[in-house]
Each structure stands twice: as structure tokens, then as C-alpha cells.
């Protein structure tokens, strides 16, 4: 390859790696799934009733977490443990909550969103469980992730909510921290602005297929 061609490729890669910023979340969901994000309407009686129930669910789940505490080394891992409390309380309150089905018809626990539930009006809603630290809530630290997938978990037009708990360390237990909840927030993320950051990746076959290996052996 000549130097001019290599330079063009380098410039193309640099352009590709420039992050896209401020993309509306609702447009991302519609482009990835073909389904619309339904914004929460503060004047709609059904939405008002739904929010009232979500508040109750969040408070009950938070109190259940605080009865037991969550053992984790880092706070960013606590959100995974809060999800079962939210799901259980949703079902207990009368909403049908479960792990979302993918576009391929299978249940998938990883990826966005965490929970799909039916409200009392028979409407599908999606809910993501998060945690936050009050000390860095106003910083630019990344707190929301969404990756495209062939088996995407959004398959219906729906509200998209986030339930997030402020967590704090109560005490240490060995190498783990015991976390509890201090406060909570319920978000409608229809108007959330997200950024796209590209990455390069390789699979096992290309990594360990033989051509790159300089030496190997058994222990």
C-alpha cells in the first residue's frame, strides 16, 4: 500500500472514532427496534396512576434491600442485585413483571432493559435498575449503557423508566462492602441524550487461531 492510501485509511478511522454526542434516546430505540418510546404524560390519568404505583414499588423494594443489605466490593455492581427486589415487588403489587423477551423470542437477562412489566391498563413498560452515589451525581461519569444487538430486548412500543437508588456503605464484611439505600429517583428517559463511542474488537478465533502466537505450553 502506498503512503497516500495508508493516510486516507488513517483519516477514515479517526473520523469513525469521533464520538457522536447528544443523540435522542427515543430515536436510538426506534432505529434499533422499530418500536416507539412513549413519553410519560403528566396530564394522563393512566400515567399518573402508574407513577403512583411505581413510587410505592420503589419504596417497598428499597426497604427490603435495607433489611438485608447488599454485599459487593464496588457500588456500580449493586444495581444488578437490586433488580430482583424491584421485580418481586412489581409482581407483588399486581404488575406482571419478568425478564424481557428478545426479538428472537428468548428471555435474555443481560443488556437493556432489565425488566418488562404490564401495568393495570395492560400496557407494556420497560424498566432499568440503577444506583448512584450522591457525591458524583453531577459529574460526567458514565451511568447508562445501551448496546445494539441482533436479539434486542425492546419489542414493543412502551414507556421507558429508570429506577435508581442512592446507595451507601454501612460497614465492611471481609473484603466486601455492605450497601443500603438512602434515597431513590424514578426517571422517564424518553428525552435522554446519549453518546456513541465506537470500539474495536476481535473474537477468540482471530486472537488464538495460531498466526499471532509466539509461544505456548502446558503447566
Reported as a single tens digit per residue, the pLDDT across 3-52 is 888 888 888 778 777 778 889 999 999 999 999 999 999 999 999 999 99
Show the low-confidence residues of the chain (pLDDT under 50).
none
The per-residue pLDDT for 202 is: 77
Q: Distance between CA atoms of 48 and 40, rounded to whole angstroms?
A: 9
Write b or e for each residue in 195-218: b if 16 or more Cβ atoms lie within 10 A of its Cβ, otherwise e.
Answer: eeeeeeeeeeeeeeeeeeeeeeee
pTM: 0.86
Q: Are 106 and 117 in contact (CB under 8 A)?
A: no
Least Cα distance to 178 among 30, 31, 74, 35 occurs for 74
What are the E-state strand segments in 41-103?
Answer: 70-72, 96-98
- Which pLDDT tens digit goes with each residue over 68-79? 999 998 888 898
- Alpha carbons 128 and 147: distance in angstroms, whole number: 14
Question: What is the reported pLDDT for 139?
Answer: 79
d(CA 183, CA 85): 15
Which pLDDT belongs to residue 64? 97
Amino acid at each position: 500500500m502506498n503512503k497516500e492510501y495508508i493516510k486516507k485509511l488513517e483519516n477514515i478511522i479517526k473520523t469513525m472514532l469521533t464520538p457522536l454526542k447528544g443523540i435522542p434516546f427515543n430515536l436510538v430505540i426506534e432505529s434499533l427496534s422499530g418500536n416507539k418510546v412513549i413519553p410519560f404524560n403528566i396530564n394522563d390519568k393512566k400515567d399518573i396512576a402508574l407513577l403512583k404505583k411505581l413510587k410505592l414499588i420503589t419504596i417497598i423494594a428499597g426497604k427490603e434491600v435495607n433489611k438485608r443489605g447488599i454485599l459487593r466490593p464496588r457500588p456500580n455492581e449493586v444495581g444488578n442485585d437490586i433488580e430482583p427486589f424491584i421485580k418481586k415487588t412489581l409482581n407483588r403489587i399486581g404488575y406482571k413483571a419478568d425478564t424481557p423477551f428478545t426479538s428472537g423470542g428468548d428471555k435474555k437477562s443481560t443488556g437493556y432493559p432489565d425488566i418488562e412489566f404490564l401495568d393495570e391498563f395492560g400496557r407494556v413498560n420497560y424498566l432499568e435498575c440503577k444506583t448512584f452515589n450522591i457525591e458524583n451525581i453531577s459529574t460526567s461519569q458514565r451511568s447508562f449503557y445501551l448496546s445494539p444487538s441482533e436479539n434486542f430486548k425492546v419489542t414493543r412500543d412502551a414507556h421507558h423508566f429508570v429506577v435508581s437508588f442512592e446507595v451507601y456503605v454501612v460497614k465492611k464484611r471481609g473484603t466486601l462492602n455492605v450497601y443500603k439505600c438512602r434515597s431513590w429517583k424514578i426517571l422517564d428517559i424518553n428525552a435522554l441524550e446519549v453518546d456513541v463511542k465506537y470500539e474495536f474488537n476481535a473474537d477468540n478465533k482471530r486472537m488464538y487461531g495460531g498466526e499471532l502466537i509466539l509461544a505456548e505450553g502446558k503447566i
